[in-house]
Amino acid sequence: MKVLANDGISQSGIDALEQNGFEVLTTRVAQEQLESFINEQDVAALLVRSATTVRKDLIDNCPGLKLIGRGGVGMDNIDVDYARSKGLHVINTPAASSASVAELVFAHLYGGVRFLFDANRNMPLEGDSNFKALKKNYAKGKELRGKTMGIVGFGRIGREVAKIAIGCGMKVVASDSFVDDVTIGLDFFDGQSLDFNIKTVELNQLLAESDFISLHVPAQKDYVIGKAQLALMKPGVAIINAARGGVVNEEALLEALESGQLSFAALDVFENEPTPAIKVLMNGKLSLSPHIGAATQEAQDRIGTELASQIAELLS
């Protein structure tokens, strides 16, 4: 039985699938050629990440397909309900990459409060000729300790962000339409653990109280953060979006950066992905990364082996 990992899969995932008798294809097939490839190769399971879409027409035209797997959390690139109505298994790995995304949030946060995203642009250009001026420009950094971290969306990733924030000495405020009360457990290197109870609040309260705001919500029909929400925030707040492009209004974000309402912002995802707007890419107050939240070796190993385990259970 053949498995097509169209957006890639870790070697550990390949090994686990092959040990269970599956043939793994890792050819990157263009979207417009995917239907014919699946049918010609008699592919039973299609694995994707965010690059490949699996819509109704593909499902209808590939009768031999038995399973669709998403390596990661969100499945907005798959017509999940329709696929299941046609008898296909649809699986994902919601917990595998949570820690990796949370760590990227804090990479952007630490880089933002110490201006590293900008310093790394300018030091190669001016470090030998303008060192003292650069030192002065970047000498007004802030600590995260003692600040308030607002987390919009308090699922698996949001809770991992909360764990790191608590470990940094931050206060955590969370908002989630479907979650009221969560106990966060922190496990330490020596076997000790501590529990922290967090009650969620309304979004407007979070916006008013937070020094830093991180978004962890699925794709939405409308913006979660637009001009009206930005107006409710403290002057000098910072926003990190490592969730989905389109949950933040980038036009309003740029305006808030230019006016000083925001001190900086960080984006790992974009409205026009994979071709972000030039004015977004060139803004000096934005810390940017190319949708790499889940792209760690550890997360990819977990994703691959979790997918392999589910496929073996469902199709063997």
Any idea which residues carry the catalytic annotation?
A: 244, 273, 291
The conformation of residue 248, written as its DSSP 8-state character, comes to: B
Q: What are phi and psi of 150, to 5 degrees?
A: -95, 125
Which amino acid appears at position 89 of this protein? H
CB-CB contact of 44 with 65 (8 Å): yes
Residues in the chain: 316
CB-CB contact of 300 with 10 (8 Å): yes
Task: Please report how many Cα atoms fall inside a 13 Å half-sphere around the Cα of residue 241, on the Cβ side.
Answer: 24
Q: Which two tokens stand for residue 269?
A: 């995802």
Cβ neighbours of residue 96 under 8 Å, at least 6 residues apart?
Answer: 71, 72, 294, 299, 302, 303, 306
Cβ atoms within 10 Å, residue 11: 11
Q: Which two tokens stand for residue 134?
A: 């650069």
DSSP state letters, 74-133: --TTB-HHHHHHTT-EEEE-TTTTHHHHHHHHHHHHHHHHTTHHHHHHHHHHHTTTSHHH
Tokens 């690059």 locate to: 51
**CA atoms of 30 and 51, how far apart (whole Å):** 10
CB-CB contact of 251 with 257 (8 Å): no
Torsion of Cα atoms, 54 then 60 then 61 then 66, to 10°: 70
Helix (H, G, I), strand (E, B) or coil at 85: helix
Helix (H, G, I), strand (E, B) or coil at 132: helix
